Structure 1
């Protein structure tokens, strides 16, 4: 008999999550993989007492990952249908799913099961990994932020993009501890931040980039130069850079494209 069981131990699912990442056709977005999915509720999929897969659901009721082990994939449609059927799983309230086009099996199940969807995020990789940038741009003198600068970096991000302060405290604190948050200061003022997040367990050939530019410094080509700086830093670490941005962020998309990135994959939002 198949059933779902919630677990608070990600360690229990570690092997399955590794298999899940390895089956992707392109690197998965770091924020979704190590951020959003890590904070979601995880459930084991069991047949009798044997663990045959898992899925995770965020607090808004959206599936973020779904996986069955080799030898059990023929049961995917049956199990996925049972999962999203509210009368069969009343304790799991689902409003839809997020899935990237690099997660083909999960994506196919979502296409079969949900009637409405839209592009949420564009995922990028360098068109030519051997190049630092297709344009001749000088890098910027960005330096790793230190613990004493945490409050300044948090205030900057709150003003620049409206990110929640409480979340930023933990997120930026961790990045600073790992020396993965960089700042660009002009005359003592923080103008931009850049992130170069390294993967520890999966996708260890890649680094996930991010950037924020002050509102009054946008539209001057600064974002592209920041990306050129981060690309150089990533390649010095022996990694390949990836990044993403929301579909509606046209300014960021232009800067990312100018820095030599292309977007072949998307994160899709499905709704019931």
Structure 2
């Protein structure tokens, strides 16, 4: 008999997480899986007190990961439907799921229970080494700890994210030497991130950037990405990134930097109210 219980320590599902990533057909989005997922509630699936799977649900009631080991006797489709239909008293209410097309089994289960779905974001990856005579990279400088307030203020003004979260997020990137900036006349005009993976997708580097609103539409985004791609390649890594499905300017900049949109992140609604 299967029992669902909250996971108190994420280390308990390390092996299952490893299996989950090995099942993916392409690298998964770094911000979703290493930023949002750890902040979500995790639930373990137990058969005779043995952990055989898990899922995680974010604060908005959307599933972000679902995995059931091949060793489990429970059928994944039956378990997933039970959760989607809100018949688990432990997990409770669930609205839908976010899933990428690089997670075929999880995606199939989501579609089986979907009332509607839409593309949330495009996932990009470098397929061949980038060579362009038309794009010149920018001189990006590694951020230092004393520059943290400047980066936070810049991101608050141009992105709108919470200052406290940004301070912790950028602070960690600076310690890991994964945050860079582009200055002109002493003013920060763009930030670039080249985030490395400590586990699972260690062959890849996850890229991110913010360009000042006053500088957008002038080709800076493409040049920032060009520089970040070069940083990743010099480390022997394959760059990946993602952007919202309605951000057409970012999509153009990413493709000009040599990355291709191979996968999508889908927002699924279950609607079993």
TMscore range, shorter length: over 0.9
Q: 2:213 aligns with which of 212, 215, 227?
A: 215
Whole-angstrom distance in 2 between the partners of 1:6 and 1:101: 27
User: How much does 1:8 deviate?
Assistant: 1.9
User: How much does 1:27 deviate?
Assistant: 0.3
What pairs with 1:5-154 in structure 2 (closer than 5 Å)? 5-72=5-72, 75-89=75-89, 91-128=91-128, 130-131=129-130, 133-154=131-152
Q: For the aligned residues, what is the CA RMSD? A: 1.3
**Counterparts in 2 of 1:190 and 1:143: CA distance versus 1, 3 Å:** same
1:126-145 Cα offsets, whole Å, 9 max, x none, are: 131x22x4453222111110
Aligned partner of residue 75 in structure 2, secondary structure: helix
Matched, 1:3 2:3: yes
Query: Do the aligned partners of 2:205 and 2:232 also contact (CA within 8 Å) in 1?
Result: yes
**Counterparts in 2 of 1:76 and 1:111: CA distance versus 1, 3 Å:** same
Query: Do the aligned partners of 2:196 and 2:204 also contact (CA within 8 Å) in 1?
Result: yes
Count residues in correspondence.
270
Q: 1:227 aligns with which of 225, 228, 231?
A: 225
Aligned partner of residue 198 in structure 2, secondary structure: coil
What pairs with 1:163-178 in structure 2 (closer than 5 Å)? 163-178=161-176
Aligned partner of residue 139 in structure 1, secondary structure: coil
**Structure 1 residue ranges without an equivalent (≥5):** none
Aligned partner of residue 25 in structure 1, secondary structure: coil
Q: Which residue of 2 aligns with 1:193?
A: 191
Matched, 1:245 2:243: yes
**Counterparts in 2 of 1:76 and 1:134: CA distance versus 1, 3 Å:** farther
Aligned partner of residue 35 in structure 1, secondary structure: helix
Whole-angstrom distance in 2 between the partners of 1:44 and 1:87: 16
Whole-angstrom distance in 2 between the partners of 1:104 and 1:158: 36
Whole-angstrom distance in 2 between the partners of 1:248 and 1:161: 16
Whole-angstrom distance in 2 between the partners of 1:135 and 1:100: 33
Query: Do the aligned partners of 1:3 and 1:47 also contact (CA within 8 Å) in 2?
Result: yes
Whole-angstrom distance in 1 between the partners of 2:121 and 2:135: 27
**Structure 2 residue ranges without an equivalent (≥5):** none
